[in-house]
Amino acid sequence: MEKFSYNSYPDSAESSPRSREIEFDNPPPWEDQQQQQTQSSYKVKFMCSYGGKIQPRPHDNQLTYVNGDTKIMSVDRGIRFATLVKISMR
């Protein structure tokens, strides 16, 4: 894969986002605090199917899940994987 510098496309300078200019290693304290607050309030949903099989449908050969149970869990986005596994075993 070739690497191109940003200068190789001089006409794109006006349309490029400012993200290249921002220092991501040291965000301002207020920005970091705000990001933590919003991330902790976000939920994510997981759909877990178990006990069945994935098989092709006879009429169109698309895959489908048959003879199993499905569980949908809504958890905080910042949950640790070990906690997610523990919750899913209930």
Tell me the per-residue pLDDT of 25-64, one tens digit each, with 9 for 90 and over: 565 565 555 555 555 578 999 888 889 999 999 999 899 9
- Please, which pLDDT band fits residue 84 given cuts at 50, 70 and 90? confident
- Please, which pLDDT band fits residue 71 given cuts at 50, 70 and 90? confident
3-state DSSP of the chain: CCCCCHHHCHHHCCCCCHHHCCCCCCCCHHHHHHHHHHHHHCEEEEEEEECCEEEECCCCCCEEEECCEEEEEEEECCCCHHHHHHHHCC
Full-model pTM: 0.41
